[in-house]
Structure 1
Amino acid sequence: MPPNFKSHRVGDATITKVEEQELRNVPASFLYPAAEASNITGTDGALREYLEEGGDSFRLSVHTWVVRTPEHLILIDTGSGNDKERPRNPTFHRQSIPFIERLKAVGVHPEHVDFVFNTHLHVDHSGWNTRLEDGKWVPAFPNARYVFPRLECEYYSSADSHNEVNVPSLGVFEDSVAPIIEAGLADFIQPSGGRYLDIFEFIPTPGHSVGHMSIALRSHGETAIFGGDIMHSPVQVYRPDLNTVFCEFQSEASASRLRMLNLLADEDALYLATHFPASSAGVVGRVAEGFSWTYF
């Protein structure tokens, strides 16, 4: 499948999705283990269109958002990376994907990237922070400042994170985060969030992971919000109570999701998801029964 290079304009910023890979036939029963089948498939056409043919599995995307402002070139989340040892997560084990070539196809050369933002430090959001060179993990974007949620770094560098829900991300801190910190290229966002580069705001949305952040971009009266893994599919717009199998802190995840949906509707913001299929971008509206989703 060809990469998705659709762009969006928000104030002075241009935002482009560059896809690393598409995940096909992800079972609904796996992704949302607490949901009954009727919650996912149902009779609502608005939900069915996000499912694979047959109605019992999802198509998901893994990608990076490229943000160009008049001053800077920024990447938000970096996919799963190449050559990573993920024996307990076969989907992302020892990959060889031409992702850097895809970035170059939209004019993004690694040495020209100014900043890399990670919403959180899971396997499919941090992998291209580093690349393998002569047996060592080195920064993939050598002139960039990498911006990490501090609480994520503290948690994933400790034994506290060595639990069953984090098995898919074992090794990520060691090969995709620690080398950045050791190279002196890391900046840290406090758990309370805050502003960065004037037009960005890190918004605490914990639950999916311990220090998960969503990121708002506000420019000339327009707003875009990069949601990280606060939602994996548009189904959660309609059912914000549904958590994924990857949400470590379930009650916090649901609460963060509901707050974000209200913020998106209140600000009429462009929502830029990390795993929604197709364009991965759209708007959340209010309807009598809750919220609605419209792709852009």
Structure 2
Amino acid sequence: MTDEHVQSFTVGDVEILRVVEWQSLFVPAPDLVPGCGPEVWKEHRELLAPDHWDPDSDRVMSALQTWVVRSAGRTILVDTGVGNGRERPGFPHFHRRQGDLPGRLERAGVRPQDVDVVVNTHIHADHVGWNTLDVEGEWVPTFPRASYLLPAADDAHFGPAGGYGGGVREDDRLVYEDSVAPVHRAGQAVLWEGEHRVDEHLTLESAPGHTPGSAVLRVASRGERAVFVGDLLHSPVQVLRPECSSCFCLDPALAAAQRARILERAAKERELVIPAHFAGPGAVEVRRLETGRFAVGR
């Protein structure tokens, strides 16, 4: 790979490409993880700075990225970022953004027609945006051959039947109408709940809390393991303090319980943990300490 925005690695027979749409300083640390005090960030400065936190501005370094998974002869995308030209008045970072994710995917050898499956770990603006493209004023699926795997609980909550998330976010209706509803109209949406087997190596598993349908995608091949955790983690500080949920979690207590469960399994089964927004290397290893806490790295 020669593109600076693309990195690759393997998990057994599964190839994984990380395609970065955007990486920059984001919100202040106390705003993103309100339950985690400044003393925790300072204590773990060596781990967090500079890849995940800028001590001078006290802002979190964050990334928008799509993961390309080549498994069992198919090409799968995990989350699709923000997209272009979206009306997101409640999110200045995303509002009417213009980026080049399709170009970066193509330079990585992934054309829209090559994609077989799109996995949305949950329905938030920065995970479903490139689901669709504006073609002559109409939103249509970006990936014409793909099945889009959507958590049924999120589809119900954020769709019209659920009152667009009950008005939790101002942009819920816009997100659903431009990035999810067109996939339904095209007949490419596949709703799932509980657990969904994607192929012999990949399994989707419900992990609600961040949203009602938040999911993780487990990878297992030839004795190696990884888990895409979506927004269960926004920063490594939540590995150190899994009880601390992000400001974006709809049910912080449930999200914390799911995070602890997933981290426990990752430490026990040596799963590489791949969050949606980590900057730096983009993935972390997790271990359990004798104190009962988790740590980053082996």
Name the TM tier (shorter chain).
over 0.9
- TM-score using structure 1 length: 0.94
Q: Distance in 2 between matches of 1:160 and 1:169?
A: 5
Q: 1:171 corresponds to which residue?
A: 174
Q: Percent identity?
A: 36
Give the direction of change, closer, same or farther, for the CA distance of 1:25–1:90 in structure 2 (3 Å limit): closer
1:139-218 to structure 2, matched below 5 A, reads 139-157=141-159, 158-159=162-163, 161-164=165-168, 166-167=169-170, 169-190=172-193, 192-218=194-220
Q: Displacement of 1:194 after TM fit?
A: 2.9
Q: Which runs of 5+ in 2 are unaligned?
A: none
Q: Is the 8 A contact 1:209 1:247 kept in 2?
A: yes
Q: 1:294 corresponds to which residue?
A: 297
Q: Which runs of 5+ in 1 are unaligned?
A: none
Q: Distance in 2 between matches of 1:25 and 1:156?
A: 25
User: 1:239-261 CA distances to partner (integer Å, 9 max, x unpaired)?
Assistant: 10111110110110000000000
Q: Displacement of 1:23 after TM fit?
A: 3.1
1:24-43 to structure 2, matched below 5 A, reads 24-42=25-43
- TM-score using structure 2 length: 0.93
SS of equivalent to 1:217: strand
Q: Distance in 2 between matches of 1:3 and 1:53?
A: 25
Opposite residue 277 of structure 1, the aligned amino acid is: A
Opposite residue 174 of structure 1, the aligned amino acid is: E
Opposite residue 47 of structure 2, the aligned amino acid is: A
1:216-235 to structure 2, matched below 5 A, reads 216-235=218-237
1:105-120 to structure 2, matched below 5 A, reads 105-120=107-122
Q: 1:284 corresponds to which residue?
A: 286
Q: Distance in 1 between matches of 2:192 and 2:213?
A: 10
Q: 2:88 corresponds to which residue?
A: 86
Q: Distance in 2 between matches of 1:277 and 1:233?
A: 9
Q: Distance in 2 between matches of 1:27 and 1:170?
A: 27
User: 1:193-247 CA distances to partner (integer Å, 9 max, x unpaired)?
Assistant: 2322232111221111111000101112211110100000111010101111101
1:7-86 to structure 2, matched below 5 A, reads 7-42=8-43, 45-49=46-50, 50-54=52-56, 56-86=58-88
**Once superposed, what is the RMSD of the aligned Cα atoms?**
1.7
Opposite residue 13 of structure 1, the aligned amino acid is: V
Q: Distance in 2 between matches of 1:37 and 1:103?
A: 38
Opposite residue 77 of structure 2, the aligned amino acid is: L
